[in-house]
A and B are shown apart, each in its own frame.
Chain A
Amino acid sequence: MPNGNDKPKVGIFGLTGCAGDQLQILNCEDELVRLAGRMDIVDWVMARSGNDHTCRLDVAFVEGVVATERDLETLKEIRARAKTLVALGTCAVWGGLPAMHNEMSREVLQREVYNTHVQFLDTVEALPPTHFVPFELSLPGCPIERHEFLRVVNSVLSGTEPDLPRVPVCWECKVKENTCRVIHAQEVCCGAMTRGGCGARCPSHGVACSGCRGPVEEPNYDANITMFAGRGISWLEIARRMSNFSAPVWMTQGLEQEVRRESKR
C-alpha cells in the first residue's frame, strides 16, 4: 500500500445481485467513517456521486454474478483497474441464488417466471465473477459478515492478507453447544458442507443451515446425502435444500440421478 498522504484508492462495485453486501458495508457506519481516513473510496455508485470510473484502484470489491454480457465487460474493466480484487458475497464467490437454476435453459426460466414473451431480458447463464477473472481474495456470505469485511479491509490496508477461518459451520455450532439439527431434528442441515464465519446463526436460532456461505473446500457431498437419506428424508427434500445455494457445485451426479428417479416414481 502507498504510504503517507497517498491513500489507497478503493472501488466498490455491484454486478447482477441484490446489493445486500454493499448494504452491509454501509451498515458498518462508525467503522466506515474511521476507514475513510485511511482510504479513498473513489468509485462506489451505490453510495456516492462524482465517481471516478477510470482511475487505477488499489482495492476493488465486486458483488453479484455475471448474468449479462454487460456484467462481464464491467468485470473485466474492474479487473484491469484493480491491484487487489476481492469477491464480495456468495454470489461473487460461488454464484449463489442467481445460479440456482442454471441447469434450466434461459428460455424455460423466462417462460416460467414471466409467462410471456418479454423483450427486456438479455441474460446469460448466471456465473460467479470468480469464474471469469482471477481474484486475490474471496469473502463469501449472504450477505457478508461485517466483522469479516472489516478484517479484510484492515489486513489489506496493513499490507497483508487476511487469514479468515475456513472451518465448517459445525465448528461454530458446536462452540455454541446448539442442539444438532441433523441428529436431534432430522433436518437437512448444510452446516458440515458450509464454510463458517456466521457464528452458526441459523442453527443457533433452531433453523437448519441453508448453506448460504458456500461450501468449504472439498465438502463430502455424497456422505451428507447418504446421511440425510438414511434418516428418512426424501431425495427431493435433500435436493431442494442442498441446491438453494451454489447449485452448480452442490449438485452431485448421484443426487441428480436419484431426483430424476424419484420424480418418475
Chain B
Amino acid sequence: MSVSLPEQLPARSAPRKLATGVNPYAPAQARIMRVQDLTSEIRLFDLRFTDAALAESFNFRPGQFVELSVLGVGEGPFSLPSSPTRRGMFQLGIRRAGTLTNYLFDHVIEGDFVGIRGPLGNGFPVELFEGQDVLLVAGGLGMVPLRGLLHYLIDQRDRFGRVMLLYGTRTPDQVLFREELESLARRGDAEILLSVDNAQGKPWGGRVGVVTELLDQVSFDVTNTYAIACGPPVFYKFMLEKLVARGFGRHRIFLSLERRMECGIGKCGHCAVGYTFTCLHGPVFSYWDAINLPELIYT
C-alpha cells in the first residue's frame, strides 16, 4: 500500500490553499462520530467532514495538526493520532486543559458538529525514513502524534526497516492506546517497549523507570536509523541529548514542538520562537534546526 502526501513546503512560499477552505480562518464543518476516553483526562474523538468530497480527500502528513473550534467558545491546535493511510475519518486526541477542552469534554457528544481548519504545519519527513529503521520515542501525551506516524509506518510496512516504539508514562493507567500497542507488538509489526515511572501496585508487564532508560534496552544502527521524539519538555530535556549520546546525528533526530498556535498559518505571531513560526515551519523540526531556538527546552 502506498499513499501520496501533501508536499513539504518551505515557509513563505507561493500562495497556497488549505484543504478546509480558501479562507484560511474559516473552518469546515465536521461531525463527531465517536468519543472514547483514553484516560480520565484524555479523550479520543473520531471526526468526519460533513462535505463528503472533503471527507474522502482530506489528506495530511503524520505530525501535521488541525485547529478545532466551537464558535463562541474558542479554537485550539490538536495533533492527529490517526494516519492518512486510513481515509474518510480522522481522529484527535484531546487533553482537558482549558476553556475549549472543558467545553469539548462537558458538552460535546457523538453527533455534534465542530469546526476544523487544516491540515496545518509541516509534519514528519517520512520520505527520508524509507528503507531506514525508525525509532519512535514518546513521553506521555507525545504518543498522540506518534500514533499517527506509527499507523502510517505499519500500514506500509514493507517500505521501512525496523519500526521501534519506546513509550513511557507516569503510571499504567496513563498509557494511551495500551491494548492496541500490545496487540501490534504481539503481531510483530513493531518492536514496542513500554515503561512507567511508577506502577502504583497495578498489574504491569512493562518496565518501571524513566523512559530514557528504555533506550538502553534496544540496539540499533545509528547510521541507518531515524529517531522521532515527542513528549513534554522534561522528556526532551533528557531524551534528546541521550539520543545524541547513543550516536544519533542531530539531523537524524526529529521532534514536535508545542506552542500557542492560534492562527496556524504563520500570521498571528503567537507561536514564534526565535526566527521560526512553529505553526508554519514546524511543529516538526530536526534537533539541529531546533537546538538554537530560544525557549526550546523549558522546565
Contact = CB atoms under 8 A, between A and B. Distances in A.
Q: Per the CB under 8 Å rule, do A and B touch in the complex? A: yes
Interface of A: 155, 158-161, 163
Contacts of B102: 160-161
Interface in B68-111: 72-74, 99, 102-103, 106-107
A161 B107 contact: no
B72 A161 contact: no
A161 B99 contact: yes
A158 B99 contact: no
Nearest to A155: B72
Contact of B107 (A155, A159, A163): A159
Interface of B: 72-74, 99, 102-103, 106-107
Contacts of A163: 74, 99
Nearest to B99: A161
B104 to A, nearest CB: 10
B72 A158 contact: yes
Nearest to B73: A160
A158 B103 CA distance: 10
A159 B106 contact: yes
Contacts of A155: 72
A158 B70 CA distance: 11
Contacts of A159: 103, 106-107
Contacts of B106: 159
Given A158-B73, A160-B102, 4 more contacts: A155-B72, A160-B72, A160-B103, A161-B102
A161 B106 CA distance: 12
Contacts of A158: 72-73
A163 B102 CA distance: 14
B112 to A, nearest CB: 12
Contacts of B103: 159-160
A155 B73 CA distance: 8
Nearest to B98: A161
B83 to A, nearest CB: 32
A92 B74 CA distance: 27
11 contacts: A155-B72, A158-B72, A158-B73, A159-B103, A159-B106, A159-B107, A160-B73, A160-B102, A161-B99, A163-B74, A163-B99
Contacts of B99: 160-161, 163
A231 B103 CA distance: 49
A214 B199 CA distance: 47
A160 B101 CA distance: 10
B247 to A, nearest CB: 45
Give the top 9 A-B pairs by smallest Cβ distance, nearest first. Answer: A160-B73, A161-B99, A159-B107, A160-B103, A158-B72, A160-B99, A159-B103, A163-B99, A163-B74
B260 to A, nearest CB: 14
Nearest to B74: A163
A226 B15 CA distance: 48
A215 B74 CA distance: 25
Contacts of B107: 159
A24 B96 CA distance: 35
A159 B103 CA distance: 7
A229 B107 CA distance: 53
Nearest to A162: B99
B67 to A, nearest CB: 16
Contacts of A160: 72-74, 99, 102-103
Nearest to B100: A160
Nearest to A159: B107
A8 to B, nearest CB: 14
A147 B152 CA distance: 49
Contacts of A161: 99, 102
A163 B103 CA distance: 13
A155 B99 CA distance: 11
A141 B212 CA distance: 51
A83 to B, nearest CB: 13
B193 to A, nearest CB: 41
A139 to B, nearest CB: 16
B115 to A, nearest CB: 15
Nearest to B103: A160
A17 B156 CA distance: 69
B266 to A, nearest CB: 23
Nearest to A158: B72
A186 to B, nearest CB: 34
A236 to B, nearest CB: 42
A158 B99 CA distance: 12
A160 B74 CA distance: 9
A79 to B, nearest CB: 21
A158 B106 CA distance: 12
Nearest to A161: B99
A163 B98 CA distance: 11
B201 to A, nearest CB: 33
